[in-house]
Amino acid sequence: MISSTNEQTLETIKKSSSIPQIIDNNEQERIIVDQLNQMRHQLLVFQDQVTTINKSLEDGDEIIHQLGNETNQYMHA
């Protein structure tokens, strides 16, 4: 038969052993949130870069079109 003192000791051990796990879980959550925030920031930077690249491509296409028109005018003049 387990005495009341032994039961209390076992319960205390169980509770104290779960505290590091809780702290560990909170630390893991903090790390995950930090990583998600970094990924979000990287995504925003990437979106800006894609926007800049698209604008450059549009400008390049327009220049090529203008050069094509000027070449045609020169060839038919």
Is residue 5 a part of any domain in this protein? no
Which two tokens mark 53?
């690249």
Q: What is the DSSP letter of 21?
A: H
Which two tokens mark 25?
């879980």
Overall number of domains in the chain? 1
Domain boundaries, position 68: 45-76
Considering the entire predicted model, what is its pTM? 0.55
Q: What is the pLDDT of residues 21-67, one digit of tens each?
A: 766 788 889 999 999 999 999 999 999 999 999 999 999 999 999 99
Is residue 4 a part of any domain in this protein? no
Phi/psi-derived region of residue 63, left when phi > 0, alpha when psi is between -120 and 50, beta in every other case: alpha
Is residue 15 a part of any domain in this protein? no
Is residue 20 a part of any domain in this protein? no
- Is the pLDDT assigned to residue 1 strictly greater than 60? no
Is residue 7 a part of any domain in this protein? no
Amino acid identity of 62? E
pLDDT of residue 77: 73
pLDDT of residue 13: 65
Is residue 23 a part of any domain in this protein? no
